[in-house]
C-alpha cells in the first residue's frame, strides 16, 4: 500500500491527538461524600426546583475513589439542575457517584459564587478541618448524583465512608 497523501495522514494524526486531549476534559464518574454546601449560615436551600431558571448549588466533596491520575481529596462541584433538591439528611449520610467534568478554563472560578463564599459543613464534614474553597478544583455536574450507600462517620477519619 502506498501513501498518496501525507498531508491527510498528518491531519488525521493531529485530529486524533486533539481528540485524545479533549477526551480528558469529558465527563467521568467518581465516588465520594458531600462535606460542605455553599450557603450563608442561616440560609435555607431553595425548596422549589420548578422555579424560574436553573438551580445552582455548589458542594465541597471528599473523594475516596477517583478514577484519574491526579487524585485530589477535595473538590468543588457546581451542580446546575431542575431536579428535586437533595435533602440535607441525604447529604449528611450518603456516599454518591458523581458524573462530573472539569470546568473549562474560562469558567474555572464558577464554583465560587458571587453571593456567598461560605461553606457550611454537612455531618460528613463536621469536626473536620476542611480546605479553603478557593484552593480547590472546580468541576461541573448536570445530572443528579446516584446514591450508592449510606456512609457514616468512623473514628480517626470522620469523612471516610463505610461500605455496607
Distance CA 108, CA 87 (A): 27
Q: Mean pLDDT lowest for which of 5-9, 34-38, 57-61, 74-78? A: 5-9
Q: Is the pTM of this model over 0.85?
A: no
To the nearest whole number, what is the mean pLDDT of the chain?
Answer: 74
E strand intervals along 44-153: 55-65, 74-81, 94-102, 119-121, 138-141, 146-150
Interval 25-53: pLDDT, tens:
689 999 999 999 988 666 655 545 555 66
CATH class for the domain made up of 28-150? mainly beta
For the chain, the structural domain boundaries read 28-150
Please tell me which residue, 49 or 8, carries the higher pLDDT value.
Answer: 49
Amino acid at each position: 500500500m502506498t501513501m498518496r497523501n501525507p498531508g491527510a495522514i498528518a491531519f488525521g494524526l493531529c485530529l486524533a491527538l486533539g481528540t485524545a486531549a479533549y477526551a480528558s476534559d469529558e465527563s467521568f464518574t467518581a465516588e465520594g461524600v458531600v462535606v460542605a454546601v455553599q450557603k450563608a449560615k442561616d440560609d435555607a436551600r431553595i425548596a422549589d426546583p420548578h422555579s424560574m431558571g436553573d438551580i445552582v448549588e455548589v458542594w465541597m466533596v471528599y473523594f475516596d475513589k477517583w478514577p484519574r491520575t491526579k487524585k485530589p481529596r477535595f473538590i468543588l462541584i457546581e451542580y446546575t439542575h431542575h431536579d428535586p433538591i437533595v435533602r440535607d439528611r441525604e447529604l449528611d449520610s450518603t456516599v454518591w457517584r458523581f458524573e462530573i467534568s472539569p470546568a473549562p478554563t474560562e469558567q474555572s472560578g464558577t464554583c465560587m459564587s458571587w453571593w456567598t463564599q461560605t461553606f457550611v459543613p454537612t455531618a460528613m464534614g463536621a469536626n473536620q478541618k476542611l480546605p479553603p474553597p478557593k484552593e480547590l478544583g472546580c468541576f461541573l455536574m448536570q445530572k443528579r448524583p446516584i446514591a450508592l450507600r449510606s456512609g457514616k462517620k468512623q473514628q480517626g477519619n470522620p469523612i471516610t465512608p463505610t461500605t455496607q
